[in-house]
Chain A
Amino acid sequence: MDISRRKFLQIGAVASGSVVCAGVKPASARDLREPNPEWLGMLNDTTRCIGCKACQVACKKENKLPKESTLNEAANVGRDVYDAPRGLSDRTYTLIKMQQAKEGGKATFVKTQCMHCSEPACASACIVGALKKQDNGAVAYDSKLCMGCRYCMVACPFSVPQFEWQNAIPSIKKCTFCRETRLKEGKPTACSTACPAGAITFGKRTELIKIARQRIEEDPERYQDHVYGEKEVGGTGVLYLARPKMQFASLGLPAFEYRTVAGLTESIQHRIFQYFIPPVAVYSVLGGIMYYNQRRKKNGGEEGGSHE
């Protein structure tokens, strides 16, 4: 997936030039919401992570997630073998992946989990609003509201939400930010507490950005001058630092645009339903044509003609 800024510029241009369903305003993304200074987040420092997976274990314990056998060994070996999972799943909310960056070839451990975006695409997409950004910064999921349509899985640029494929009554599963179990009691997330290397810093997002900047400034040899997630997809609650001369994309953190993912769909939706003008207009025009044709028929006493 190679996403260039060009693609987006062109798309913006097409959108403003087009007359998609009687657009009045150009389809520029609406202004980004001002990030709430109260939002909590995590700063994942990939230069510090030693790949011990203590966070993974802590997360499993905290969320009481069942163990999982990931390689289908039961079928191949005759019994289950429990190795590190290959990807996020309904039983794995966070995962340490070893990424071999092309540049420098150094192995880097990168934690994956829900990014708790400032402008979550999943929440914009969810048909019933089962996913919502909370005041404390967590993007929370309500399984009682959810219909299981899986549109959030399509929408999330990081492919975070997972589905319980094996359950008769499946729910969406993803990192909860330990909202119910720990944040409520004022405790930091389980994964950040468990980390022995200080690679996960928990705190207010605004503070974390300051800390990140400070680390970059103090040790420019060690850090790349970029805080991933500060701006990407409109900002994320979980931020990343990496070594210099290393593409974040090769660490599994794609070079996403700074605008929100749901900007285009939301502005199209907006234009169609702004005061219901377009539907009402179409209705009136069609009504007018129908009326005209019926009058003509009545007056002329003939069937509607067809001209070629």
Chain B
Amino acid sequence: MNKAAPLNYNFFTPNVWLLIFFMGTGAIFAFFRFFYGFGSVTNLNAAYPFGIWIAFDVACGVALAAGGFTTAAIVEIFGRDKYHALVRPAILTAFIGYFLVGLAVFFDLGKYYNIWHALVYWNGTSVLFEVAWCVMLYLTVLGIENIPVVVEQFKGRVNLPGQLASFNRPSEWLLGQADNILNRTMAFFVIAGVVLSFGHQSSLGTMMLIAPYKLHDLWYTPLSPLLFLTSAVSVGLPMVIFEASLATVLFKREPETELLADIAKYIPMFLGTYLLLRIGDLAYRGVLAQAFDGSVQGNSFLVEFALFAVPYFMLKRRKIRRNALKLFLCALSVILGVVLNRFNVFLIGMDMGPEFNYFPSVGEFAVTFAFLAFGVFIYRMAVNYLPILEEQ
């Protein structure tokens, strides 16, 4: 097993400046949102109180961060140690993902300064209440799961300059303690992370069930929590493959095709379960015909379904899994499928009548892109200065 090591590249490449540009643009729109109200930036309205900041930044963000708990479960719980190289990047991206979800929620809350109320004023009947708790706890767990990386980098090497030098010893002691305690308790956190993920991934699927008269039949099903959970599990590995492939190209690293192709064999298993549940549910409720009625929702469903089904059949074949490009495209397809599914549930499937519509404004897009850029920026910084990716 190779050791993970920081990349230590030159950090401020043109790509990084591009990220900074996106972040800056988003910040300008965010300024207006915070000081002049949502109306000055977003196209949100009475019929569509949730926009892309919820549908994409939060709902998709949580789903796409599923790479963390799926990889952790496969490697640490089910003991498939040979995929070890994939765990650290996956846990890191999950942490970044959830951090951004939290930030996006903060931007989307009208009274953001009351965000802590979710911890103090409990309303057990609210699905959102459960989501909030799980996300917060899981973010904490992810933070803890990332500590060993920091410890590994700095233990025995703390060397603060000048005045701060007196803190060297206490810092070392702290790192040593953390190392010690975490070594013994990590298993607890790994399992807790998986359980918490199960909780909020499925609860996100329960969320829109509060609106039986608004959400389209194709998505309004009591199975929704289970479908959200299984689709999140299905997208975990494709996200890992997607990120690893991009890292290969962007950081000019050697491709990990062998390893990725190998772990990709689990994807059809997850996807198959999801598709079976999905089709079974639609057929049982007798709403399948609505998929073919030519409506926006019907068509959107068909595209969503194809994005899941095609990679299912493709990835069953070893030859395709071993082809880096095809594997990448299949992973991308699953990712887009999950993204479209979340959009369908949170926006497109919300049938508010002909007099209402919503399409995200430039400002909403800009802020969403800023979040994405910020995520990539943190990732870039982390792999550069911390031992995340394995040495080649």
Stretch at the interface among B11-19, B33-41, B368-376: B33-41
Q: Verify if A262 is at the interface (C-beta below 8 Å from B).
A: yes
Evaluate contact between A157 and B211: CB separation under 8 angstroms.
Answer: yes
Do A306 and B80 form a contact, CB below 8 Å, given A21-B225, A168-B37, A268-B225? yes
Contact of A154 among B110, B214, B225 (CB under 8 A): B214
Expressed in whole angstroms, the minimum distance between the Cβ of A72 and any Cβ of chain B is 12
Q: How far is the CA of A145 from the CA of B117 in the complex (A)?
A: 7
A3 to chain B, nearest CB (A): 6
Partner of A18, one of B49, B206, B223: B223
Tell yes or no: A279 within 8 A of B by CB. yes
- Given the known inter-chain contacts A256-B213, A308-B265, please indicate yes or no for A15 contacting B128, CB distance below 8 A: no
Counting CB contacts under 8 A, is A75 at the interface? no
Choose among A148, A155, A167, A266 the residue that contacts B112 (Cβ–Cβ < 8 A).
Answer: A148
Of B147-155, B235-243, B279-287, the stretch lying at the interface with chain A is B279-287
Residue numbers in A under 8 Å from B286 (CB-CB): 10
Q: Compute how far the CA of A145 lies from the CA of B377 in the bound complex, rounded to whole angstroms.
A: 35
> In the complex, what distance in Å separates the CA atom of A148 from the CA atom of B37?
12
Chain B residues contacting A87 (CB-CB under 8 Å) are 46
In the complex, which residues of chain A have a beta carbon less than 8 angstroms from the beta carbon of B351?
Answer: 1
Q: Which of B123, B132, B209 interacts with A126 by CB under 8 Å?
A: B123
- Does A150 contact B226, Cβ atoms closer than 8 Å? no
Contact with B along A250-287 (1 / 0, CB 8 A): 00001011000110111011001100000100110011
- Bound together, the chains give a CA A7 to CA B222 distance in angstroms of 12
Determine if A293 and B195 form an interchain contact, defined as CB atoms under 8 angstroms apart.
no
- Establish whether residues A148 and B111, one from each chain, have CB atoms under 8 Å apart when the complex forms: yes
Cα distance A155–B35 when bound, in Å?
A: 27
CB distance from B361 to the nearest CB of A (A): 12
B110 CB contact (under 8 Å) in A7, A27, A128, A171: A171
Q: Give the distance to chain A from B190, nearest Cβ to Cβ, in Å.
A: 8
A165, B128: Cβ atoms closer than 8 Å: no
Nearest CB in chain B: distance from A267 CB, A = 9
What A residues does B111 contact at CB under 8 A? Answer: 146-148, 169-171
Chain B residue with Cβ nearest A146: B111
Q: By CB atoms of chain A within 10 A, which of B124, B195, B353 has the most?
A: B195
In the complex, which of the residues B79, B198, B210, B217 has the most CB atoms of chain A within 10 Å of its own CB atom? Answer: B210
Return the chain B residue nearest A13 by Cβ. Answer: B284
Q: Whole-angstrom distance from the CB of A29 to the nearest CB of chain B? A: 11
CA distance A130 to B117 in the complex (A): 10
Contact between A265 and B44 (Cβ–Cβ < 8 Å)?
A: no
Instruction: Tell whether, in the assembled complex, residue A282 and residue B128 are in contact, meaning their CB atoms are under 8 Å apart.
Output: no
Assuming the contacts A18-B226, A126-B126, asked whether A265 and B209 have C-beta atoms less than 8 A apart, the reply is yes
Which of A154, A171, A273 touches B50 (beta carbons < 8 Å)?
Answer: A154
| Cβ A170 vs Cβ B38 within 8 A | yes
- CB of A289 within 8 A of CB of B77, answer yes
Which residue of chain B has its CB nearest to the CB of A255?
B213
Measured CB to CB, the closest approach of chain B to A294, in angstroms, equals 7
> What number of B residues sit within 8 Å (CB to CB) of A?
77
**A276 CA / B91 CA spacing, docked (Å):** 26
Residues of chain B within 8 A (CB-CB) of A163 are 38, 44, 46, 49, 110
Q: Are A294 and B123 in contact (CB under 8 A)?
A: no
Q: How far is the CA of A170 from the CA of B44 in the complex (A)?
A: 13
Which A residues lie within 8 Å of B284 (CB)? 10, 13-14, 17
Q: Complex Cα distance A287/B46, Å?
A: 46
- Check B210–A166 contact: CB distance below 8 A: no
Inter-subunit contact A269/B130 (CB<8 Å): yes
Q: Is the CB of B81 within 8 A of A304?
A: yes
In the complex the two chains form, what is the Cα distance from A154 to B175 in whole Å? 46
Asked if A227 is an interface residue, CB under 8 A from chain B, the answer is: no
Per-residue CB contact flags for chain B residues 197-209 toward chain A (1 = under 8 Å, else 0) read 0110011001111
Which residues does chain B contribute within 8 Å of A18, judged by CB atoms? 222-223, 226
A21 to B49 Cα, complex, angstroms: 29
Whether the pair B49, A150 counts as a contact (CB closer than 8 A) is yes
B191 on interface, CB distance cutoff 8 Å:
yes
Whether A153 touches B191, Cβ cut-off 8 Å, given contacts A264-B212, A265-B209, A269-B127, is no
Q: Which residues of A have CB within 8 Å of B123? A: 126-129
Q: How far is the CB of B263 from chain A (nearest CB, A)?
A: 9
* B253 is an interface residue with CB less than 8 A from chain A: no
- Interface membership of A290, Cβ < 8 A: yes
User: In the bound complex, what is the Cα–Cα distance between A8 and B207 (angstroms)?
Assistant: 18
Residue of B nearest to A142 (CB): B121
In the complex the two chains form, is B108's CB within 8 Å of A149's CB? yes
Q: Is B245 an interface residue (CB 8 A)?
A: no
Contact A162 B132 (CB under 8 A): no
Judge whether A88 is part of the interface by a CB distance below 8 angstroms: yes
Are A147 and B110 touching (Cβ within 8 A)?
A: yes
Chain A positions within 8 Å of B125 at CB level: 124-125, 262, 265-266, 269
Q: List 26 A-B contacts (CB under 8 A).
A: A3-B212, A8-B212, A17-B284, A124-B125, A124-B210, A125-B127, A127-B118, A128-B121, A128-B123, A129-B121, A130-B121, A147-B115, A148-B114, A153-B49, A154-B210, A159-B47, A256-B213, A257-B212, A265-B206, A265-B209, A266-B125, A268-B209, A273-B130, A279-B198, A303-B82, A304-B81
Starting from the known contacts A126-B126, A269-B203, A273-B124, 5 additional A-B residue pairs (CB-CB under 8 Å) come to A3-B212, A10-B285, A124-B126, A128-B117, A148-B110
Q: Which A residues form the contact surface with B (CB < 8 A)? A: 1, 3, 7-8, 10-11, 13-15, 17-21, 27, 87-89, 121, 124-130, 145-151, 153-155, 157, 159, 162-171, 254, 256-257, 261-262, 264-266, 268-269, 272-273, 279, 282-283, 286-287, 289-290, 293-294, 296-297, 303-304, 306, 308
